[in-house]
Amino acid sequence: MQIMKKLEVFKQGILEELPLQLGVFPFGIFYGIMAIESGLTPMQAFLMSSIIFGGASQIAFVQLISNATPFGVLVTTVGAINSRHFLYSISMMEFLKNLSIKWRIVLAYLLTDEAYAISIRKFIHEPNTSFLHFHLLGTGITLFFSWQISTLTGVLIGGDLPQFLDLQFIIPLTFIAIIVPMIKSISTFLVVITSAFSGLILKSLDINFWIIVSGIIGVLVGIVSGKLDKNK
């Protein structure tokens, strides 16, 4: 009986994650092409997707590599971009705290933007569901295989993609597809708008760590607006 329940939750995670792959797959192809054009070997490009498994940071990495960016700046930039995963982990802690260390390591590796966006809704709205971690396992594994296959596709295509097929627009569209379904309250809307505009302003001013700063601003707005919603 438990095995069937685990499989049911796992399958639900897979099915709910699949629609997002329409944006993820072109994103992965774009990364694979950029990686080869930046001078990485096919094996290096593919291993980055397997080890780092972080789309935005991988894109930033190959862009910086192609511009001969100093190693310290490269590591700092990639680390700053990936710092958002700390926020993901914090919000997941209460749901996964009773799992073994092995489970937490596996799920931490699979915790990416798209997997988090789908699973956190399940965790919040159905916290009493048995074996919730299998939902995150389903979303994470789906994304993992999609990312590896799309990276490999981009690596094989290399620079042969026609110029009129510009895939750069896929990156913002992917994140928009993640965020929009999560906007179900005024406070969430304010967080999204504030984070987006502060990010655009800070980036235009060439402020370092603009991603982190805009994220913190969004969190603060979320805390304040959330309290106002509760007091109504």
Least confident of 19-28, 111-120, 138-147, 186-195: 186-195
pLDDT, position 188 = 76
pLDDT digits (tens, 9 = 90+) for 140-188: 999 999 999 999 999 988 665 555 455 556 666 666 666 666 676 777 7
What average pLDDT does the structure give for the chain?
Answer: 81
Q: What predicted TM-score, i.e. pTM, was given to this entire model? A: 0.74
| Among candidate residues 133, 85, 71, the one with its CA nearest the CA of residue 113 | 85
Q: With CA atoms as reference, report the closest residue to 161 among 36, 41, 23.
A: 36
Report whether pLDDT(57) > 70: yes
pLDDT-derived band of residue 79, with 50, 70 and 90 as boundaries? confident
Q: What angle do CA 157, 162, 165 make, to 5 degrees?
A: 100
Q: Does the pLDDT at position 190 exceed 90?
A: no
Run of H or E residues at 193 = helix 186-204
Q: Where are the domains of the chain?
A: 2-160, 183-232
Distance set, CA 202 to CA 16, 148, 169, 217 (Å): 34, 33, 21, 11
Res 221: pLDDT:
79
Mean pLDDT value across residues 128-135: 86
- Which of 65, 31, 11, 57 has its CA nearest to residue 155? 31
Give the model's pLDDT for residue 82: 79
Residue 232 has pLDDT above 60, yes or no: no
- Whether 107 and 133 have beta carbons less than 8 Å apart is answered as yes
Residues 33-56 have pLDDT tens digits of 888 888 889 999 999 999 888 888
Q: What is the pLDDT of residue 200?
A: 80
For residues 21 and 220, give the distance between their C-alpha atoms in angstroms, rounded to a whole number. 31
